Structure 1
Amino acid sequence: MTNRPRIALVTGATQGLGLALVEGLASRLSPADTVYLTGRDAGRVARAVAGLPATSAQVRGELLDVADPDAATRLARLVEERHGGVDIVFGNAVMRIGPDDDPRALMDAYTQVNNFGTTRLMRAFTPLLRDGGRFLVVASSLGTLSHLAPVLHDRFDGLSSLDEVDKQVAAWRDAVLDGSAAASAWPGFINIPSKIAQVAAVRALASQRRDDDLRRGILLAAVCPGMINTPTSALWWDVSTAASPAEAAVPLLDLALDPVDPGHYGQLVRFGRALPWKP
């Protein structure tokens, strides 16, 4: 990172972990820096910005619905026009699903946000990363092949482009929608393939960018914040002893602001350690 003003952007930032990441970045960065708080609802974005405590860096709200095929490109163009590039991006937008939800009813919208939204963000903003930049996709420890039946590993292993990842996500989505996934080895908990696909997207893009990014001090990685005490998580698990969003944000902020560990590049990182992709 240089002494120029730094530009950071967080998606899915109107509540929970995303809001904590914005507050943490704005507290750690300088008054010359800008943090973009983004979300899909203009009213919620405005309220989130207004509700933040006094911070060092400027926080700027912007509308970004990652399910809109063109939204990330539009915002990237705006950020480039204003600042010439970006230094830190957290891809945190997520559509949540509860135990009582029917995956088939939500599948299209779910993948549009969690998966295609992630790859759209990557296509739009990684070309804008300046030297020393960070692009971090918030995923989960579920995003490794150890959580997928071995017969399905080749769907996501060794992919070399975001287009290939999108193709596999679309095939999985369609199998859920037509009911064939239920009769095969796909897990019923759709969060598992979704998180694996997010990590696969990071790995695929990293395979293309690795040498140049490491030369320029750029980190591209997926991150696992661990269990977080949120109302959605509480629908699935006992989160009474889990970290608050602010606590969970700390190791992610460290990864975004500390010197790059080359061993983290293209990996899924949890609490400062790269998790194995394969069992």
Structure 2
Amino acid sequence: MNAPRIALVTGANQGLGRALAEGLAARMAPHDLVLLTGRDAQRVTEAAHAVTRLPATRAQVRGKLLDVTDTEAIGRLADELRSQYGGVDVVISNAVARLLPSDSQSGRADEFIDVSNTATHAVLRSFGPLLRPGGRLLVVASSLGTLGHLDPRLHPLFEEASLDQVEYAVESWRSAIHHNTAQEAGWPRWLNVPSKVAQVAAVRAVAGQRRERDLASGTLIAAVCPGMVDTATSRPWFGDYSQAQSPAEAARAVLDLVFSESVDPALYGELIRFGEALDWHGGTPPVEQDRLLTP
């Protein structure tokens, strides 16, 4: 018997994360393990039990408490998986802070950045080295994650940046928000735009250091854009949900990347939407008066 494959999903209590955990559990083997993580112990336990009981579930499913804003906890979990299993095969970084259109963008900035960006950096640093040959490390972002969505003045912060440089740019943005200088520096008011660009830039930074080795072993590191998904987090932002996917529908394209037999070099390190790489330099800065953001 082959060694069990180990999969980890962050932010997996509900919505897309839950659907991804369900899909992994259905498509992996009975001796494989899916770790469904979140920061609420009761909800994590309930979700893991519910996924385990689904008729399609084949793999083992275990709930694991993980607050992604605690970067030390991310590191401890990585150490635990290294010790127990020697590595991981699938990591999907999906956690996101729920933000409503009526919320103060500046008032929620720290929480949003910690969940979406600081945690992404920690996942890449902690789990990238644990990824076994043929593995998948995917960061859930959005089509807003292309560089063209930022003011051109900000492009040098992320273009060909190392992970350290991306982290510095994110913290500079955070500081500018707190000092009320963000808009004059070119940062958009809506947190989601620079946050997603920084997520994709972080993925590109890590992938750039590993590309040759990973492609030789069939390993994929990438950002993914699931498209418009009907969830409690995203619904308040859109006026028309007629084209929205259910979480299960949105999870399929991501899971197809996980279970693909080979890695397309054109997708490696890129932002992928429905199996196609988006142009890193594409997009235009958002119109601030438009409260509805594109997925």
In which range does the TM-score fall when normalised by the shorter chain? Answer: over 0.9
Supply the AA of the counterpart residue of 1:4.
Answer: A
Contact 2:146 2:197 in 1 (8 A): yes
For residues 215-268 of structure 1, what are the alpha-carbon distances to aligned partners after superposition, in whole Å with 9 as ceiling and x for unaligned?
Answer: 121100000000001122221102243000000000000001102111111100
Task: Give yes or no for the alignment of 1:127 onto 2:114.
Answer: no
CA contact (8 A) 2:228 2:243 kept: no
Q: Normalization by structure 1: what TM-score?
A: 0.96
Q: Which has the higher helix share?
A: 1
1:276 paired residue number = 279
Alpha-carbon shift at residue 195 of structure 1 (Å): 0.2
CA distance in 2, matches of 1:200, 1:103: 22
Whether 1:67 and 2:66 are equivalent positions in the alignment is no
- Partner Cα separation in structure 1 for residue 183 and residue 268 of structure 2: 35
2:40 alignment partner in structure 1: 41
- Per the alignment, residue 222 of structure 2 pairs with 221
* TM-score between the two structures when normalised by the length of structure 2: 0.91
Cα separation, 1, equivalents of 2:165 and 2:215: 24
Q: Using the alignment, how far apart are the partners of 1:4 and 1:260 within structure 2?
A: 22
Cα distance between partner residues in 2 of 1:229 and 1:240: 10
Contact 1:20 1:245 in 2 (8 A): yes
Q: Secondary structure at the match of 1:59?
A: strand
Conserved? CA contact 1:29–1:57, under 8 Å:
yes
Retained in 2: the 8 A contact 1:229–1:240?
Answer: no
Describe the SS at the equivalent of 2:63.
strand
The alpha carbon displacement at 1:104 in A equals 1.4
* Structure 2 residue 76 is matched with structure 1 residue 77: no
Question: Following the alignment from structure 1 to structure 2, what is the Cα–Cα distance between the partners of residues 50 and 130?
Answer: 27
Q: What does residue 22 of structure 1 align with? A: 21
Mapped partners of 1:241, 1:28: distance in 2: 27
**Counterpart Cα distance in 2 of 1:275 and 1:155:** 20
- Number of residue pairs aligned between Structure 1 and Structure 2: 277
> 1:163 is matched with which residue?
164
Alpha-carbon offset, residue 183 of structure 1: 2.9
Q: Does 1:86 align with 2:88?
A: yes
Show the 5 A alignment for 1:155-234: 155-160=157-162, 162-234=163-235
1:199 is paired with a residue whose SS is helix
Q: What SS class does the counterpart of residue 244 from structure 2 fall into?
A: coil
Q: In the aligned structure 1, how far is the partner of 2:76 from the partner of 2:235?
A: 35
CA-to-aligned-CA distance 1:181-211 (integer Å, 9 cap, x gap): 1334211111000000000000011111111
Tell me, yes or no, if the aligned pair for 2:157 and 2:165 is still in contact at 8 Å.
Answer: no
Other structure's SS at 2:67 match: coil
Q: 1:57: which partner in 2?
A: 59
Of 242, 261, 265 in structure 1, the residue corresponding to residue 264 of structure 2 is 261
Residue 145 of structure 2 aligns to a residue whose secondary structure is coil
CA distance in 2 between partners of 1:11 and 1:175 (Å): 28
1:151-179 Cα distance to aligned partner (Å, 9 max, x none): 2111111102x211110000011111211
1:144 and 2:143 correspond: no
Out of 24-33 and 52-61, give the one that drifted further.
52-61
Please, what is the CA RMSD of the aligned residues? 1.2
Deviations 1:69-108 (A, max 9, x none): 2011110111112211100100001112111111111111
Identity level (%):
56
Where in structure 1 are there 5+ consecutive unaligned residues?
Answer: none
1:57 deviates by 0.2
Whole-Å separation in 1 of the counterparts to 2:189 and 2:225 = 21
Q: What is aligned with 2:12?
A: 13
Residues of 2 paired with 1:168 and 1:96: CA distance?
Answer: 23
Which residue, 84, 108, 111 being the options, matches 1:109?
111
